[in-house]
Structure 1
Amino acid sequence: KGKCVKYGEDRFQVEIGYNAELIAVFKKIPSKSYDPAMKKWNFSLEDYSGFMEAANQLSSVILAPLEGENAVCLASGSHFVGSRVDVKSLLKMCQNWKKPSALVKGKCVLISRLRFEVDIGYSAEVIGVFKQMESRNYDMNTRKWNFLLLDYPKLMEALQSLVSVEVEPLPKAVIQTFAAQIQRSTSQTDIPDADLSAVDSKIVMSLMPFQREGVNFAILRNGRLLLADDMGLGKTIQAICIAAYYRKEWPLLVVTPSSVRFTWAEAFHRWLPSLSPGSTNVIVTGKDNLTASLINIVSFDLLSKMDKQLKSTFQVVIIDESHFLKNIKTARCRAAMPLLKAARRVILLSGTPAMSRPAELYTQIAAVQPAFFPQFHSFGLRYCDARKMPWGWDYSGSSNLTELKILLEESIMIRRLKSDVLSQLPAKQRKMVVVAPEGISAKTKAVLAAEAKKMAKGYESKQQEKEALLLFYSRTAEAKIHSVVEYILELLESGNDKFLVFAHHKIVLDAIVAELEKRHVEYIRIDGSTPSAERQSLCQKFQFSEKQVVAVLSLTAANMGLTLSAADLVVFAELFWNPGVLIQAEDRAHRIGQTSSVNVHYLVAKGTADDYLWPVIQEKIKVLGEAGLSETNFSKTAESTNYHPKPDPKQKTIYDLFQRTFSESRDDTDEVLLLEAADACSEFDSGSALQDTGGETCSVSPPKKRRIE
């Protein structure tokens, strides 16, 4: 960035940092002169317009024009020339832009913080308009024209005057957020340091530089943001610091997954020593008082049961793992949204902001910035590739992801990946371990093959499909037990002192624990039945023990909120269809405090449900990576992941079945019930089940519904 300034009577000087492309432009100008004392170039005013035109062609350079000179030569009569651009008139353009009779249709899309492109079919008159723009640039790769946001008002005005051309403008939210760039004042890139003198010095001194930036960002945005840092980068400490800045507005409400409620209470006292001992109130039952203390910590599910108490509003609210609010239809989301709309400060924390698709980001954006997209439908059309189907609209796709990412990062979201900030943290190294098929008995193989054959034929109802898949999944768990236990014993023998083992089915967890007890190996076990209050002490035991310890963990109960960085090896005994859950589980070890490289081993058994789950997981991770929402690309970082099932049409059917059943957006409670069903399936006597290939012994509706907290 630089500017032109007057230099004597008839010359001007360019004040700018070094840029090779720009120097090349300087050298072509006849009146050039270099002042070695000032280290700046100056030119005759006669060359000014030619120079500005050449400089504006360079995408890496932004030059402020000479004051008093009208740098823009445009058709007279445009009400955008020379005057400051009126944002209201730009927002008006967002309304009636459709021209049903238009022959050429296109749209404007943001491609960086300063430039936008026009995606449109060929038309000579459109190209004519493009060529009048000083900042025009034609991208040979995408075959599209792009321009500086400065040129947006006059370009849109010119295009809207063409009768046969329809161009969809940038969304309102983009125009409001980037008004400064459109109005040719340079945008602010450095976030000013917030005054944290009123906050406990202990927490302020403990912030790493990037965490301090996160706090500054939040305060600049008036305490409303989505803090989407990667897992293990200390979102909790940043959130506590931001909340402490607004301490005068407390009582504070913290909504978290139930397993980490006590961890939060501990963190508040640790980082804010000035708090009196009784100032945190962890809600344990629906009868507790939600406003009893200065800091009130409640789980998502209890929040939805306590709506009677929600009459009193909180001014400051922290939502941990805010992707839990992705589905507007769930009770937890309906309970939380009014609270967030009423609060002055909303701090959302999520390491995986869109678990699989942009539609799931909508509620989080609406919670922080309700004015951005008042209607979900307009958001869906722009970013979810919304399509009209016979049964209604389908919002499960994704479109214009780059624009969405730039918009969020400029307005409400701050997201740093581990690779950006933790130079001391080595990357994870994944490998896929294909476990020995010898471990699976011939009988079990026959059962799995029969199951697969049945599935390939297809089912009448979705319910039957799901039940069959879950049965297949739990049969896979049984089939793998032998090989999994063997693998763990090998690891122990080869001198691995501390590692994490994740599994999903109770029978797998039980089998691992039984074997460890038999060998007198110390272990900790955290699954759905471990009380929240005990989890922290189990983690401490694992972290600080000198001896050999194995952490045996449930994939769905222990995949978030726990720090087990004393381990640098994570073993997945079973796969899971949601990659977000797997990555969160890996990150129990891959956190701040981890000094060595974390190895992740996925145990995959051929001839089982893993054949279909592994490709499904890889596919989903790829989609997340394209949106910039996951730095983790399984295929690139895993050894030997070129493991794909044989392209056999029968297998293709089952793969599609998995893909379809577990990619549909559905209520979270469904997922919990599915998991319970899977557990119920896995608790039957494996002997009897294997004799009965029909699978009637497994009742898929669990005998009694476990209380979901």
Structure 2
Amino acid sequence: MSLPLTEEQRRKIEENRQKALARRAEKLLAEQHQRTSSGTCIAGNPSQAKQGPSQNFPRESCKPVSHGVIFKQQNLSSSSNADQRPHDSHSFQAKGIWKKPEEMPAACPGHSPRSQMAVTGISPPLAQSPPEVPKQQLLSYGLGQGHAEASPEIRFTPFAHPTHEPLAKAKSSQETPAHSSGQPPRDAKLEAETAKASTSGQNIYYIHSSSGTEGRLQQKSGSSVEKGVISQKGKCIRNGDRFQVLIGYNAELIAVFKSLPSKRYDPDTKTWNFSMNDYSALMKAAQSLPTVNLQPLEWAYGSSESPSTSSEGQAGLPSAPSLSFVKGRCMLISRAYFEADIGYSQDLIALFKQMDSRRYDVKTRKWSFLLEEHSKLIAKVRCLPQVQLDPLPTTLTLAFASQLKKTSLSLTPDVPEADLSEVDPKLVSNLMPFQKAGVNFAIAKGGRLLLADDMGLGKTIQAICIAAFYRKEWPLLVVVPSSVRFTWEQAFLRWLPSLSPDCINVVVTGKDRLTAGLINIVSFDLLSKLEKQLKTPFKVVIVDESHFLKNSRTARCRAAMPVLKVAKRVILLSGTPAMSRPAELYTQIIAVKPTFFPQFHAFGLRYCDAKRMPWGWDYSGSSNLGELKLLLEEAVMLRRLKSDVLSQLPAKQRKIVVIAPGRINARTRAALDAAAMEMTTKDKTKQQQKDALILFFNRTAEAKIPSVIEYILDLLESGREKFLVFAHHKVVLDAITQELERKHVQHIRIDGSTSSAEREDLCQQFQLSERHAVAVLSITAANMGLTFSSADLVVFAELFWNPGVLIQAEDRVHRIGQTSSVGIHYLVAKGTADDYLWPLIQEKIKVLAEAGLSETNFSEMTESTDYLYKEPCFTNVEGFG
């Protein structure tokens, strides 16, 4: 508990306070002396002041000013009775400068002495005792442009513009009788003089006091301003040939807005904007509203007065100023041309016509120029005082540096052929032409790019080839979704035969070493748990499904970004880099090019249509997408759609996705291990072999459920809109359906219990759906008679021993009306019945192909088939298929 102040401490505190007030008063008087060369009066109350003991100023020198000093009575807590001296609320004396109102001569007729406070123009410095104001507080000084915040008892209302109503009011005051309170009539000539002088740029303020007597300036002869009226402040902002009004909600002002013909309302910013032709009408209407204080437009050189408006004799602003200031910016519209997005200026148009490469678009009414003339144009525009044309951002000038020096009219950048002689020949020979072009692009960009090819175009094989080109800089880090870790392991083994399996380290738990192999494969989630091991930098990094890093606040992004920024080669892979808005691209852009847009705000302003909201900035929009696309294609991203390379794609693209059964309970694990052990037992009859495989197949279904669901959710997060999922066991179909319902994903299900009529309805529902949709289908019940050509991906959650059934299921998508290459993903799990079923399926397909009963061999159409982990003790079982 704090001790009470001693008498000496209170005395020193009061003494310091008095000195501070004295210094403040001296400073205010000095400033007042600089502004005035003769005696002045408070605005709206002109009175004659004394210059000396016997000299008075003439009446003509009494001019209204917008500066004054107002004091407020306030109770100050003090334990000293000596400090509580009686005083008058208007008395503040210092060397005879500040006087009580009763002592001032009534030099300006028409005003009550009680409402006056005069300040002399000659104010010698305070050399003696400080003014005694123990219970008063200085509220405001300078009631002009920089007035202080009003207290609840006092309100300041400025005229919205110098040319306001006092002229008309002064005229009407001659015909108005005196007020019942006995106030003398106002001098109309003097008020007209006051209104005329106000055009110098100072604002006149009405002072409304809750006391109703002192400190009030009359708004109209014979009537005072309404008590307690709150003035709502706002301002006008010029935007091209229109202007915007920034102000809070006011019902009367909204009604004025709706009456103007050029009104427009922006629901995003919740503001109104109008044509400049309606400016004068709006300002006049706003000035007539006592609850509105609307600041006028700021014209050229920062003045709130139009350049074409003279200081006298004008009663409003022009609708279109003759010397308006225009502002705009340069926008990139192609690899060769940029556009000037700016309002009309006669001088600017004349300058545009001097440029050799000028082009004018009659539809957009905008001028465009070759990039090589960008610097020249900007330099010339800077010589125009009324024009501000912002140049292209530094990021664009860096990305298009060669075009700025000498513009090439080529629509795409020239990419040199890369020397792939040191890359494994098997890998190079299997590259399609567009895939080899992707490798060349990546190497031309120094191994840092975002490969955003459409799904199914072979981003994996391209990434492996790019990484193999920089093999001397390994160890290699591969960050992937958890469901495809082992798929990447098998892809490396297939496309780089020279690699030993021991060179590949797949991180399965948080206890594994991240740097144990030449190639280290880790999931996004585990990467955030291994931050301590990330201190060892990786020079080459591959990130699959890089859009998982779109949110910079997530743990996976915080863990990955430092690794990517220090790596020498960064290969990002994503079929959908941005799911819904440009802001999602930012982290991927700076991962590839850290020098591009170091601050997100600059990126958001230009490409995310950033808006300042009451709670902060909103970056959820989009703007200048054409320019952003050009920037990405030039320096960061390579993207090809299926429609672009369809002629190079096979009708079907089969892919084996290796998953690891995980997160299963002990009972399921024990049953799976027992079934696997039974399969290795020799000297079995054919029926025993069949029974053992069926049991193993059933146990495999339960073990694969967690990994299957994880893969399906990864597909949805990657932007897959429509696909089919085939399964055989009811427990697998139930688990998938329940998870989709929990995630609120639109889906249909067709199994053996679905009637024929209901099947057709569900099929049409899936075909016509434009949202995310998944068809969960039974392999044996929905493998024929149905068409799902609106999808181009089929996922087999389980295998089936009859290959003919699998091919029929594939053709639910690959049918007449399909315009895209069909992707078919087989999910195969290690250590399960899939190790036996997959080679069995391939053997049967081979037999059918030799007899001419099958379209082709699975091995020729499947991206990878080297997934046999255990040699089966038999290759055929009677009764299967």
- Residue equivalent to 1:52: none
Give 1:568's aligned amino acid: V
Does the aligned pair in 1 maintain the 2:783–2:805 contact within 8 Å? no
Residue 108 (1) aligns with residue 304 (2): no
Does the aligned pair in 2 maintain the 1:542–1:566 contact within 8 Å? no
Residue 201 (1) aligns with residue 433 (2): no
Per-residue deviation, residues 423-471 of structure 1 (Å, max 9, x unmatched): 255999xxxxxxxxxxxxxxxxxxxxxxxxxxxxxxxxxxxxxxxxx99
Per-residue deviation, residues 76-99 of structure 1 (Å, max 9, x unmatched): xxxxxxxxxxxxxxxxxxxxxx99
- Residue equivalent to 1:602: none
| Richer in helix (by share) | 1
Aligned equivalents of 1:538, 1:472: Cα separation in 2? 17
Aligned equivalents of 1:169, 1:309: Cα separation in 2? 44
Equivalent residue of 1:305, what SS? coil
Does the aligned pair in 1 maintain the 2:336–2:407 contact within 8 Å? no
Give the aligned CA root-mean-square deviation in angstroms.
4.3
Does the aligned pair in 1 maintain the 2:814–2:822 contact within 8 Å? no
Aligned equivalents of 2:798, 2:356: Cα separation in 1? 62
The 1:567/1:321 distance shift into structure 2, 3 A limit, reads farther
Per-residue deviation, residues 374-400 of structure 1 (Å, max 9, x unmatched): 111101111101111111100111111
Q: 2:573 aligns with which of 349, 369, 372?
A: 349
Does the aligned pair in 1 maintain the 2:372–2:406 contact within 8 Å? yes
Per-residue deviation, residues 223-260 of structure 1 (Å, max 9, x unmatched): 00000111111000000000000001111010011111
Aligned equivalents of 1:494, 1:149: Cα separation in 2? 55
> How far apart are 1:487 and its partner, in Å?
7.5
- Residue equivalent to 1:237: 461
Q: How does 1:267-286 map to 2 (within 5 A)?
A: 267-286=491-510
Aligned equivalents of 2:802, 2:382: Cα separation in 1? 67
TM-score scaled by structure 1? 0.51
> How far apart are 1:277 and its partner, in Å?
1.9
Q: 1:121 aligns with which of 343, 348, 351?
A: 343
Q: 1:399 aligns with which of 623, 635, 650?
A: 623
The 1:484/1:228 distance shift into structure 2, 3 A limit, reads farther
Q: 1:376 aligns with which of 588, 600, 610?
A: 600
- Residue equivalent to 1:147: 369
Equivalent residue of 2:331, what SS? strand
Equivalent residue of 1:254, what SS? strand
- Residue equivalent to 1:162: 384
TM-score scaled by structure 2? 0.42
Aligned equivalents of 1:472, 1:592: Cα separation in 2? 21
Aligned equivalents of 1:315, 1:542: Cα separation in 2? 43
The 1:143/1:591 distance shift into structure 2, 3 A limit, reads farther
> How far apart are 1:490 and its partner, in Å?
6.9
Q: How does 1:29-108 map to 2 (within 5 A)?
A: 103-108=325-330
Aligned equivalents of 1:502, 1:257: Cα separation in 2? 26
Does the aligned pair in 2 maintain the 1:105–1:121 contact within 8 Å? yes
Residue 172 (1) aligns with residue 398 (2): no
Q: 2:522 aligns with which of 288, 298, 306?
A: 298
Equivalent residue of 2:528, what SS? helix
Q: How does 1:464-503 map to 2 (within 5 A)?
A: 486=754
> How far apart are 1:479 and its partner, in Å?
11
Q: 1:134 aligns with which of 356, 363, 378?
A: 356
The 1:180/1:114 distance shift into structure 2, 3 A limit, reads same
- Residue equivalent to 1:651: none
The 1:475/1:217 distance shift into structure 2, 3 A limit, reads closer
Q: 2:451 aligns with which of 227, 242, 266?
A: 227
Aligned equivalents of 2:302, 2:432: Cα separation in 1? 55
> How far apart are 1:212 and its partner, in Å?
0.7
Q: 1:255 aligns with which of 479, 493, 506?
A: 479
Equivalent residue of 1:546, what SS? helix
The 1:173/1:315 distance shift into structure 2, 3 A limit, reads same
Aligned equivalents of 2:302, 2:808: Cα separation in 1? 66
- Residue equivalent to 1:318: 542
> How far apart are 1:191 and its partner, in Å?
1.1
Identity of aligned residues (%): 60
Aligned equivalents of 1:410, 1:543: Cα separation in 2? 49
Aligned equivalents of 1:135, 1:247: Cα separation in 2? 46
The 1:247/1:475 distance shift into structure 2, 3 A limit, reads closer
Give 1:179's aligned amino acid: A
Aligned equivalents of 1:141, 1:474: Cα separation in 2? 50
Aligned equivalents of 2:802, 2:594: Cα separation in 1? 45
Residue 547 (1) aligns with residue 805 (2): yes
Equivalent residue of 1:268, what SS? helix
Number of residue pairs the alignment of both structures matches = 406
Aligned equivalents of 2:806, 2:740: Cα separation in 1? 35
Give 1:335's aligned amino acid: A
Q: How does 1:491-530 map to 2 (within 5 A)?
A: none
Q: 1:568 aligns with which of 804, 810, 813?
A: 813
Does the aligned pair in 2 maintain the 1:380–1:395 contact within 8 Å? yes
- Residue equivalent to 2:308: none
The 1:476/1:270 distance shift into structure 2, 3 A limit, reads closer
Which of the pair has more CA radius of gyration? Answer: 2
> How far apart are 1:281 and its partner, in Å?
1.2
Aligned equivalents of 1:322, 1:478: Cα separation in 2? 25
The 1:593/1:140 distance shift into structure 2, 3 A limit, reads farther
Residue 590 (1) aligns with residue 822 (2): yes
The 1:120/1:480 distance shift into structure 2, 3 A limit, reads same
Equivalent residue of 1:423, what SS? helix
Higher relative contact order (CA 8 A, sep 6+): 1
Aligned equivalents of 1:289, 1:587: Cα separation in 2? 46
